[in-house]
Structure 1
Amino acid sequence: MNLLRDNDLIYGRLLTIEEPHLIERYNKALAAFGLKPTARASFEIDRSGYSPQVAEDLGDVNYLDPNQINRRFIILTPQQIDLPVVHTAFSNTSQLLFEFMTSNQRVINALTIKDVIYGEIEDSVAKVEDIEDLLSINQVEFKVLSAEDVTGKATQLATLVDRLKQEPDAWRDTAMLEEMVDLAKVTGDIRENALVPDHVIFRHNAYWTSHFGGLYVFVDPGMTTVISDPSAPGFRRSRPWQVSYLSLHDADKVFEFLLSTGRIELPRASWIEKSGYLEHRADMLVRSLIHQSDPKRDLGKADRVWLQTWIHSNASLINSDGTFPFLNAAKREISQLGQLKIEDVPPRQRFLVVRARPDHPDAWLTNSLISDFVPFDFMSRYVFNKPAFYRDYEDFNEVWRAHVVATLKDTYLKDKAGFRQRLYGLTD
């Protein structure tokens, strides 16, 4: 993974922590979780406070996610809201943290001046043993603590302030007044700085999870849809009136689900032609076929002319695979008719020519699912399905790794927002 790290394709955009007081606070949070403190003078963290360097020292990549459920977090600074989440068992962890930090921005700003915020994103399940455990999670609650207990002391001070206001003789209680002074030395003026988060419960909606080899959950009115390998424990076991189970290997039924629930855009000239979507798929395919036929070939200097020459010279391979001719035929039909008759396309090839509806709340998750059916498109895998991309990368040889990294660096990393907007219509 060193090549990925050196090119900011893994653990990129993290925040460096090197101030002694922040490292001390981080260690207090680690101690509260029963973990060894870090001796590093500098390390990086993501939005959740996860640090690849601390994980390496502890020998545990799941040190903030011990059972891949009830995710822990450590917040040292409000700046973390702008960071990615680089290691999680649930795709919506990043969004839940963003909602929590946005909803409690004033509290986090005030608390992190004095203290570190840590805790768990808690739900009703302590350990996931089958699909039903996942489906029982409807909402999560942020259990918030702080090393110096500033939050607890602020709550205690607020209670005493209320007592002072409501009980006529409370001002005569010298011990209580002294206690209030001591608490205020820690909390400051709680009238000006709210120190207790008041938005801690959030909905747990559609997501992907790494449990059972990778599983998708989509939520619609009256029906929840699970898409996974049928070998996952609990698959099709219960509640058929509430839960629909689809095999991740059944391209026909998965596509029909995405289409019937309005999650995908069908191939129409209005977006296909201006996006270059089919050209992108074809380019990814050809590069993959070249690598399969000659694993040691360096594609670093392969320009468009060279690629076109290779296509002509390897017509039999191209035709036997069938994907490139299909993409060319689809492009011609869309150019002539303005659309492609999707019902005439074999189920698995349908995923080559569709994308998630950009305005749908599940657009990112849907594009991630689509990428599972188009694994040769490593760029789409990287953008929407990083866990799958990193698994694929482990099996790449050194030549292909170098090419993949160079391609991502020279295209996607140069203009992430522009790339996503052009190909997928996404504006954020």
Structure 2
Amino acid sequence: MKRLIAQGLMFGNLIRVDSAAWVGLYNRALDRITGRQTALTEFHIDIGGHSPEIGDEFGDMDYLSPEGGERQFILLTTEQKTAPMLTPDLSVLRDVLRRFIVENESQLFSLTARDAVVGRIDDGVWRLAGPADLPNISRLTLAADTTGNHVAEADRLAAMIDRFRRDPNAWWDDVLIAQMIEQARKSGDVLRHPVRLDHTVFDVPDFWTARFGGVYLIRSAAEPAMIFADPAQRTEVPGFLTLTVQDRHPIAAWLARNALAEPIINARGADAAPILRQKIDFILADAAIRLGLDTGDGGRAALRRAAGRMGDDLPPEIAGLAALQRYAEQGGDWPVIDSGDPAYFHAIRATPGPARDLVNRLLSELAPRDVRQLFITHKPLFYRLYQGWPDAKREYVAQMLAREYAIDKQGTRTALFGPEPGMARPDPATRDGPWGRAAAARSDTGLPRPAGPWGRAAEDGS
């Protein structure tokens, strides 16, 4: 992992805590949550206040959620909104916490100016006994206060003020007035400087969870589905189509029926040919390193020379992707590629909509040789696979990501996946173009197979 850290591809954009004041505030908050303090005088924190250095010191990377309990966070500054989240067990946690900071920024800025803010993220589910309990997670509620309880104290003063305004006899209530004065000394002027956190509840219709071997839950689609990374964990859940990542034909058909994915080659705003060329590069590099072939500087010319020596070991994805690249650059006949082709999931991307990022994460798990998309959309899986790669592949991937992603993250994401999506649900009825008659198509195994964006796969049985 040292290569990734050195290139800023792991633990990047963390907030540095190196002042005695911040360390003291963090320790005060940490003691309140865990009953422990750090002896470190300098460390880094993510958006939720988690520090990899403190995790290493404690020997517990989940120290902010003791004994697998509720998710807790520490805010020292609103600038944490730009930091990543290092250990999310739900894919939506970083986005929800970022929105919480942004939508309450003025109040949180005021609070963190004098104290650390500690909080918890509640999913409303007391116990996840099995995958069937996951649909109970539909919204996240955030509760936060400073270690000095400034929000609670402000709420007490606000309640007194409200009582004073409503009660016509309050002007003569010396006890109430004295209590208000004393409370104001603790909380300040809550009328001019309110500290109420108003935006604390966030709906989460779609998410990935690391629980139960990894599960995708997509509720915003017209046909809700749960897709399991571990086939042994697959459970029938009422109201959901349940699949595993091995069910490639049914997943492709489901994506088509619900207009959740589209071919890169005709996606709006996508420059398909360069994207396809890069995907071919990633696949060839993986194959060449696995076969022990010389890849030189890892450039395109060296990879093409290595491909010429692969013979029958040439990856099966190459033929389909090369055909698509030729079509994008030269035109001609539309390539016939369906979900039985190894190139299929490399050649599509999620459509705009609330589930876009989650669908792209699923596609990266179905086509993990595209290491750039895997890194961008599914870091937990990327880091796990990275540890098992040969050293030559680790070097190639680290250098490639530093060169082609890290220098312009947002630009790369936009080029690959399109602009940030709106929240409108895609309408399958309006997307009858290249997908064909997906619902009716069947493979020779009896599993659903979409007619596909490339040719007449359903009719000719290919």
Q: How many residues align?
A: 419
Instruction: Report the Cα distance in structure 2 between the residues aligned to 1:29 and 1:417, rounded to whole angstroms.
Output: 33
1:380 aligns with 2:377: no
Question: What is the one-letter code of the residue matched to 1:390?
Answer: Y
Question: What is the one-letter code of the residue matched to 1:52?
Answer: P
Is the Cα contact below 8 Å between 2:164 and 2:171 reproduced in 1?
yes
1:148 aligns with 2:148: yes
Corresponding residue for residue 362 of structure 2: 369
1:260 aligns with 2:233: no
Is the Cα contact below 8 Å between 2:117 and 2:146 reproduced in 1?
yes
Judging changes above 3 Å, is the alpha-carbon distance between structure 1 residues 234 and 330 closer, same or farther for their aligned structure 2 residues? closer
After TM superposition, the structure 1 = structure 2 runs for residues 243-258 of structure 1, keeping only pairs within 5 Å, are 243-258=240-255
Corresponding residue for residue 201 of structure 2: 201
After TM superposition, the structure 1 = structure 2 runs for residues 303-322 of structure 1, keeping only pairs within 5 Å, are 303-318=299-314, 321-322=315-316
Which SS does the other structure have where 1:423 is aligned?
Answer: helix
Is the Cα contact below 8 Å between 2:317 and 2:342 reproduced in 1?
no
1:324 aligns with 2:321: no
Distance apart, 1:221 and its partner CA? 6.0
Corresponding residue for residue 235 of structure 1: 235
Distance apart, 1:347 and its partner CA? 5.1
1:289 aligns with 2:284: no
Is the Cα contact below 8 Å between 2:122 and 2:141 reproduced in 1?
yes
Judging changes above 3 Å, is the alpha-carbon distance between structure 1 residues 398 and 246 closer, same or farther for their aligned structure 2 residues? same
Instruction: Report the Cα distance in structure 2 between the residues aligned to 1:305 and 1:95, rounded to whole angstroms.
Output: 40
Is the Cα contact below 8 Å between 1:213 and 1:229 reproduced in 2?
yes
Distance apart, 1:183 and its partner CA? 2.3
Corresponding residue for residue 121 of structure 1: 121
Corresponding residue for residue 298 of structure 2: 302
Gaps of 5+ in 2: 422-462
Question: What is the one-letter code of the residue matched to 1:182?
Answer: E
Instruction: Report the Cα distance in structure 2 between the residues aligned to 1:218 and 1:365, rounded to whole angstroms.
Output: 8
Judging changes above 3 Å, is the alpha-carbon distance between structure 1 residues 223 and 324 closer, same or farther for their aligned structure 2 residues? closer
Which SS does the other structure have where 1:227 is aligned?
Answer: strand
Q: 1:422 aligns with which of 415, 421, 441?
A: 415
Instruction: Report the Cα distance in structure 1 between the residues aligned to 2:156 and 2:291, rounded to whole angstroms.
Output: 70
Instruction: Report the Cα distance in structure 1 between the residues aligned to 2:16 and 2:230, rounded to whole angstroms.
Output: 42
Question: What is the one-letter code of the residue matched to 2:396?
Answer: H
Distance apart, 1:28 and its partner CA? 1.9
TM-score (norm 1): 0.91
Instruction: Report the Cα distance in structure 2 between the residues aligned to 1:381 and 1:114, rounded to whole angstroms.
Output: 41
TM-score (norm 2): 0.84
Distance apart, 1:327 and its partner CA? 1.7
Instruction: Report the Cα distance in structure 1 between the residues aligned to 2:216 and 2:139, rounded to whole angstroms.
Output: 17
Corresponding residue for residue 134 of structure 2: 134
- Deviation string 1:77-114 (CA, Å, 9 cap, x unpaired) is 11111222121101000111122222222221221122
Judging changes above 3 Å, is the alpha-carbon distance between structure 1 residues 138 and 232 closer, same or farther for their aligned structure 2 residues? farther
Distance apart, 1:330 and its partner CA? 2.8
Corresponding residue for residue 224 of structure 1: 224
Corresponding residue for residue 444 of structure 2: none
Judging changes above 3 Å, is the alpha-carbon distance between structure 1 residues 59 and 252 closer, same or farther for their aligned structure 2 residues? same
Question: What is the one-letter code of the residue matched to 1:419?
Answer: T
Instruction: Report the Cα distance in structure 2 between the residues aligned to 1:418 and 1:221, rounded to whole angstroms.
Output: 27
Which SS does the other structure have where 2:406 is aligned?
Answer: coil
Is the Cα contact below 8 Å between 1:141 and 1:202 reproduced in 2?
yes
Gaps of 5+ in 1: none
Distance apart, 1:205 and its partner CA? 1.7
Which SS does the other structure have where 1:118 is aligned?
Answer: strand
Which SS does the other structure have where 2:302 is aligned?
Answer: helix
Instruction: Report the Cα distance in structure 2 between the residues aligned to 1:112 and 1:252, rounded to whole angstroms.
Output: 51
Distance apart, 1:176 and its partner CA? 3.4
Is the Cα contact below 8 Å between 1:110 and 1:194 reproduced in 2?
no
Is the Cα contact below 8 Å between 1:268 and 1:340 reproduced in 2?
no
Identity %: 25
Corresponding residue for residue 74 of structure 2: 74
Is the Cα contact below 8 Å between 2:234 and 2:243 reproduced in 1?
no
Instruction: Report the Cα distance in structure 1 between the residues aligned to 2:64 and 2:232, rounded to whole angstroms.
Output: 25
Question: What is the one-letter code of the residue matched to 1:39?
Answer: A
Is the Cα contact below 8 Å between 2:271 and 2:415 reproduced in 1?
no
Judging changes above 3 Å, is the alpha-carbon distance between structure 1 residues 202 and 61 closer, same or farther for their aligned structure 2 residues? same
Is the Cα contact below 8 Å between 1:269 and 1:339 reproduced in 2?
no
Which stretch of the first structure deviates more once superposed, 186-195 or 224-233? Answer: 224-233
Instruction: Report the Cα distance in structure 2 between the residues aligned to 1:212 and 1:368, rounded to whole angstroms.
Output: 17
Judging changes above 3 Å, is the alpha-carbon distance between structure 1 residues 250 and 83 closer, same or farther for their aligned structure 2 residues? same
- Deviation string 1:353-395 (CA, Å, 9 cap, x unpaired) is 11112x2222211111111111122111111110010001111
Corresponding residue for residue 356 of structure 1: 350
Corresponding residue for residue 336 of structure 1: 331
- Deviation string 1:227-270 (CA, Å, 9 cap, x unpaired) is 0046455611x41xx11101111111111111211111124356
Instruction: Report the Cα distance in structure 1 between the residues aligned to 2:181 and 2:336, rounded to whole angstroms.
Output: 74
Which SS does the other structure have where 1:360 is aligned?
Answer: coil
Instruction: Report the Cα distance in structure 1 between the residues aligned to 2:362 and 2:68, rounded to whole angstroms.
Output: 21
Instruction: Report the Cα distance in structure 2 between the residues aligned to 1:169 and 1:107, rounded to whole angstroms.
Output: 33
Instruction: Report the Cα distance in structure 1 between the residues aligned to 2:107 and 2:180, rounded to whole angstroms.
Output: 20
Instruction: Report the Cα distance in structure 2 between the residues aligned to 1:230 and 1:14, rounded to whole angstroms.
Output: 32
Judging changes above 3 Å, is the alpha-carbon distance between structure 1 residues 68 and 388 closer, same or farther for their aligned structure 2 residues? farther
Is the Cα contact below 8 Å between 2:48 and 2:80 reproduced in 1?
yes
The Cα RMSD (Å) is 2.3
Distance apart, 1:308 and its partner CA? 2.2
Instruction: Report the Cα distance in structure 2 between the residues aligned to 1:302 and 1:234, rounded to whole angstroms.
Output: 40
